[in-house]
A and B are shown apart, each in its own frame.
Chain A
Amino acid sequence: MAPPRHRDRGFSRRASNSLFFGYVAAAAGIVLGLGLLLVARFDPLAFQGIRGLALDLTAPFSSATRVVARGGDRVGGTIGDYWRAGAHNAELERQLAEARRALIQAQIDSADNHRLRRLLKIVGDGGQPVVVARIVGSNTSGQRRYATLAAGSGEGVRAGQPVRGPDGLIGRIAEAGHGYARVQLITDGGSTVPVRVVRTGQPALIVGRGDGGLDVRATTIGAQPFRRGDLLATSGTGGVFHEGLPVAVVTTVSGEVAAARGLADPATLDVAMVLPEVAVAPPPPPPVGAH
């Protein structure tokens, strides 16, 4: 195919001008984009208003895909009603199907109850939770590991608050829209959680690797700080996470560095609890009469 005709803008000054200004606009846009990236690098919450709005608008997308799958299984049932003699039978079958549905629902409710009760049992150690909400999805083509939570600033969720599930720490709120929030998972490459080895009390840092795994780094020098199977819980250092939230289990050890697996499996994340950020103690007053 020959090159399309329109590329040849000929001698029309107007057309070549608009082409030129298109290039100028594109180049200016690249500069603008780089500027925005710099702003985002140094102030991650810079555009939370518009980003939160976009989150509120798009989060229902992932929930909507769940509904589409239903509805195809009703076709077969109506054929039986064609026979008058079978009407009674059909009625009974309908009731049976209803009962079965109710039974399945009851089983689901019971499992839900069990999990929620487990979640409630751990409320005591970390103060009152801000909100308990469902994890509704994630962006499966993005480079960062974030999940979407079905609660936002309307329920008191703020950026920075820790999020936990029934099994352990999930991550912390990265940004909040009005009805939805984005959670930075502990497996994200930019996530660091100060922890403590439960067995020895030694401090360590858990750093996300970005591929689903976690790296554990000892913050003090000592002989073999980790052992396979060591439980790691938050140490409370830094004032973001409460002390004593279970986070991960050490899976392999190689010297000062170990690999760990998060206790909250992201594949099964469904209910999460947002906890208030621990208030950092105010700085001590300046000493009197120092000068």
Chain B
Amino acid sequence: MAVGYEYEADRMPARLWIVPIATTALGSAVALTPIVVQVPVVPPFGLLVALAWRLLRPEMWGAWMALPLGLIDDLIGGAPLGTAMTLWTIAFLAIEIAEQRVVWRDVWLSWRLAIGAIAFCVIGAWGLAFLAGGAGPIWLIVPQLLLSILCFPGVMRLVAVMDRWRLGERAANSR
């Protein structure tokens, strides 16, 4: 079993592993807009895309993958290095633990896990900014939080489409 798995992994074309990472980085870059805003309004799309990949393809990434993805997000967004690295990794580990406890998965469970992870990461980012002495009042993040939660199913749809494109004919074979 393990040998066959490794063999397949060796032949994996670049597209298979680049697409999830590239789309996550692209999601992180969505928030960079040519306007200057006074309150955080745009959902953290990098986090949403990473969570969508994680929930859609649990076997693809270990929990440690959140580290480089978070680093990319920190570098693109300009947050202090370690913010997204720490928060995303804790969220990924928590999802992993939660998944081992449930027997049946469905889309509602995915969304609930995502809501928990999004709330943890957004509030955590605010808390870290607060500790660093530069956060606004906490009620400012409520609209961003709600918007992120509502956006998540859409992001998951998009990621599913990209996943199908990424896998090409492999997807058809595996179903």
Asked if chains A and B come from one complex, the reply is yes
Q: Which A residues fall within an 8 A CB radius of B? A: 1-4, 6-7, 10, 12, 14-15, 18-19, 22-23, 25-27, 29-30, 32-37, 39-41, 44, 47, 50-51, 54-55, 58-59, 61-63, 65-66, 135-148, 182, 185, 187-191, 208-212, 266-267, 269
A40 with B80: CB separation less than 8 A: yes
CA gap between A6 and B57 in the complex, in Å: 11
Q: How far is the CB of B17 from chain A (nearest CB, A)?
A: 16
Residues of B within 8 A of A (CB): 1-2, 5, 29, 31-45, 58-59, 62-64, 66-67, 70, 75-83, 85-86, 89-90, 92-93, 99-100, 102-106, 125-126, 128-137, 140-141, 144
Q: Which residue of B lies closest to A185 (CB)?
A: B36
Chain A residues with Cβ below 8 Å from B63 are 22-23, 26
- In the assembled complex, the CB of B87 is this many whole angstroms from the nearest CB of chain A, namely 8
Cross-chain contact A210 with B78 (CB below 8 angstroms): no
Is B34 a contact of A63 with CB atoms below 8 Å? yes
CB–CB B126/A33 < 8 A: no
CB-based contact B58/A1 at 8 Å:
no
Closest chain B CB from A39 CB (angstroms) = 8
Contact A1 B89 (CB under 8 A): no
Contact A41-B132, Cβ < 8 Å, known A22-B62, A25-B62, A140-B33: yes
Known: A14-B2, A26-B64, A189-B135. A36 touches B33 (CB 8 A): no
Write 17 A-B pairs (CB below 8 A) sorted by A numbering: A3-B103, A7-B58, A12-B1, A15-B5, A25-B62, A25-B67, A26-B66, A29-B64, A33-B85, A34-B86, A36-B85, A65-B34, A137-B34, A137-B35, A138-B37, A191-B134, A211-B38
A240–B100 Cα distance when bound, in Å, is: 55
Which residues of B have CB within 8 Å of A50? Answer: 75
Whether A33 pairs with B82 at a CB distance below 8 angstroms is: yes
Decide: B80 and A267 in contact? CB cutoff 8 A: no
Contact of A209 (CB < 8 Å), options: B34, B64, B130, B136: B136
Cβ-Cβ contact count across A and B, 8 Å cutoff: 204
Nearest CB of chain B from residue A190's CB, rounded to whole Å: 3
> A61 contacts which of B29, B36, B42 (Cβ < 8 Å)?
B29
Q: Which residues of B contact A63 (CB under 8 A)?
A: 34
| A140–B40 CB distance below 8 A | yes
Whether A141 contacts B86 by the Cβ 8 Å rule is no
Residue contact B70 to A33, C-beta cutoff 8 Å: yes
Q: Taking A50-B75, A144-B129 as contacts, is the C-beta distance between A62 and B34 under 8 angstroms?
A: yes
Whether B35 lies near A143 (C-beta < 8 A) is no
Q: Report if A212-B34 is in contact (Cβ < 8 Å); known contacts: A22-B62, A33-B85, A189-B133.
A: no
CA gap between A192 and B154 in the complex, in Å = 40
Given contacts A37-B80, A189-B129, contact A30 B99 (CB under 8 A): no
Q: Give the residue of B37, B90, B106, B132 whose beta carbon is less than 8 angstroms from that of A190.
A: B132
Q: Is the CB of A26 within 8 A of B31?
A: no
Known: A138-B35, A141-B41. Is A32-B105 also a contact (CB below 8 A)?
Answer: no
Per the bound structure, the CA–CA distance linking A210 and B63 in Å amounts to 33
Contact of B129 among A29, A32, A143, A147 (CB under 8 A): A143
Cβ–Cβ contact B76 & A54, under 8 A:
yes
